[in-house]
Structure 1
Amino acid sequence: MTTQPDVTVRPATPTDRPTIERLWLLFRHDLSEFGGQLPSPDGTFRRERLEAAFSGDADWAAYLFTVGERPVGFAFVRAVGQPTRVLNSFFVVRGVRRTGIGLWAVREVVARHPGAWEIAFQENNAKAVRFWRRVAEELAPGEWGEERRPVPERPDLAPDNWISFRYPNP
């Protein structure tokens, strides 16, 4: 059994946007290691998902993770009103990784949107591979699947791995 870490997972508000924008840069920087993406000339990275999460579209939900008053991560969920939700973006700052906060946060986010879920990650990111397989096994023991899918409209990129499960597990 996982003990609750000292973390709050809550829906992000418009006033949280500047904080999440700064966390977004850290997230995209971490991911650039696995896809070779470089920042734009102004030092930022692509932000379509960030924009969508704060667009007001009811099919998106953004969450902020905090320890006390300190931001430690975020999650974006898309397809909230669809039969299968997608954990579109998930990030925990390095200073709290391997403390249980990531697992706790993903459990909290998924529990807010019961049903079928999909999560994509890159196979060459060994830490993400271990983390997401552990998440799937903890949330849907023995009842999850994994497959590789091409990245739409990006034949230059390696296929993503997709984990799928149902929560709560019937």
Structure 2
Amino acid sequence: MTDPSTVDVVVRPAGPVDRTIVERLWLMFRHDLSEFRGLLPRPDGSFRDERVADAFSSPGWAPYLFVRGEHPVGFAFVRALDAPVRVLNSFFVVRGARRTGIGQAAVREVLARHPGRWEIAFQYENPGAVAFWRRVAAGVAGDAWTEEPRAVPGRPELPPDVWISFTCGRPGG
């Protein structure tokens, strides 16, 4: 695997000027997830996007954009910054940048900006995500992380999400 500290990616807070770029990346993200959860676009071709609005306007949220050179290559939404446990709500790297170390470098940068306790959800049906998030947890927390399936609130027809939990940086936030 590529050493994340040598990867050429800039992780920066996404501001209002970046919103259109993040919205376009969001469509790719939701399209990727549609494979694992049977999601279909709305009649206008878009996917649900309230998390984009939350990331840019709700207290306790922070959107990040990942850029390589002049190319946007991904994003992350962090929520619960005002709570004891931060949640990596959404994380995406475009397919053309995957398996290059960009994802590892980007997530480590996001986590480092908000040290403390973290939770991140993924789906067992997505084998790439399973392997990626387990590597992230082991890389930042060694053996001090947990993995737990949890029902998706309000969606009993869906398989449970899998949540990893760990602390990075200084304990306790």
TM-score range normalised by the length of the shorter chain: over 0.9
Identity among equivalent positions (%) equals: 66
- Which residue matches 2:20? 18
- Which residue matches 2:56? 54
- Which residue matches 1:118? 119
SS at match of 1:102: helix
Task: Assess if the C-alpha contact under 8 Å between 1:75 and 1:90 holds in 2.
Answer: yes
Q: Which runs of 5+ in 1 are unaligned?
A: none
How many equivalent pairs are there?
A: 169
Task: Assess if the C-alpha contact under 8 Å between 1:8 and 1:66 holds in 2.
Answer: yes
Please provide the CA RMSD for this pair: 1.0
Matching residue's letter, 1:3? S
TM-score, structure 1 normalization:
0.97
Task: Assess if the C-alpha contact under 8 Å between 1:120 and 1:162 holds in 2.
Answer: yes
TM-score, structure 2 normalization:
0.95
1:4 CA displacement:
2.1
Task: Assess if the C-alpha contact under 8 Å between 2:115 and 2:170 holds in 1.
Answer: no
Matching residue's letter, 1:133? R
The answer as to 2:17 corresponding to 1:8 is no
1:16 CA displacement:
0.1
Deviation track 1:135-170 (CA, whole Å, cap 9, x = no partner) reads 000010000000000000110111000000001266
The 2-side partners of 1:78 and 1:60 are apart by 4
- Which residue matches 1:158? 159
Deviation track 1:56-108 (CA, whole Å, cap 9, x = no partner) reads x2300000000011100000000011100000000000001000000000000
The 1-side partners of 2:161 and 2:103 are apart by 21
SS at match of 1:105: helix
Q: Which runs of 5+ in 2 are unaligned?
A: none
The 1-side partners of 2:166 and 2:66 are apart by 23
Task: Assess if the C-alpha contact under 8 Å between 1:140 and 1:168 holds in 2.
Answer: no
Deviation track 1:32-77 (CA, whole Å, cap 9, x = no partner) reads 000001000000001111110011x230000000001110000000
Task: Assess if the C-alpha contact under 8 Å between 2:4 and 2:102 holds in 1.
Answer: no
